[in-house]
Amino acid sequence: MDEKIFSSELGDVKVSIDEIERPERKGDWSRIESEFSEKELIDQIDFRELEEIDFDPGSYFSVIKLKISGEWKRMFFRFEDEGDDCFDFLKYQFSSYQQNH
């Protein structure tokens, strides 16, 4: 399985063999945007640019953290979304990518 799409009220997220992407934001982003600048948020990253990944399950929002050029960016999910499953698949795909490049 080379790619998988994870459902999210904030916009579905696709993880492939070389990137993670939220093609379109959906739902209510006002709470997130009031606390985080656009510079801290990310909707797409190629694994070539990715240094490290982490996950914060949160209580209302879960967050996949992506380290790029020494700075952490955030990809948010609602707590009932598939954020943890997305992170698990992302870990697998990113690890495979690192071994092959």
Task: Residue 79: give its domain's CATH number.
Answer: 2.30.29
pLDDT tens across 46-94, in order? 999 999 999 999 889 999 999 999 999 999 999 899 999 999 999 999 9
Determine the Cα–Cα distance for residues 59 and 101; give it in Å rounded to an integer.
Answer: 36
Distance CA 94, CA 101 (A): 10
H-assigned helices in the chain: 30-35, 83-100
Mean pLDDT of the chain: 95
Q: Which of 45, 44, 48 is nearest to 100 (CA)?
A: 48
Q: So what's the pLDDT on residue 88? A: 96
64: containing domain: 4-100
Separation of alpha carbons 7 and 100, rounded Å: 28
Say what the pTM is: 0.93
Given this model, what pLDDT does residue 58 score?
87
Q: Answer whether residue 14 shows pLDDT above 90.
A: yes
Residue 1 has pLDDT above 80, yes or no: no
User: Structural domain tally of the chain?
Assistant: 1
75 in Cβ contact with 41 (< 8 Å) = yes
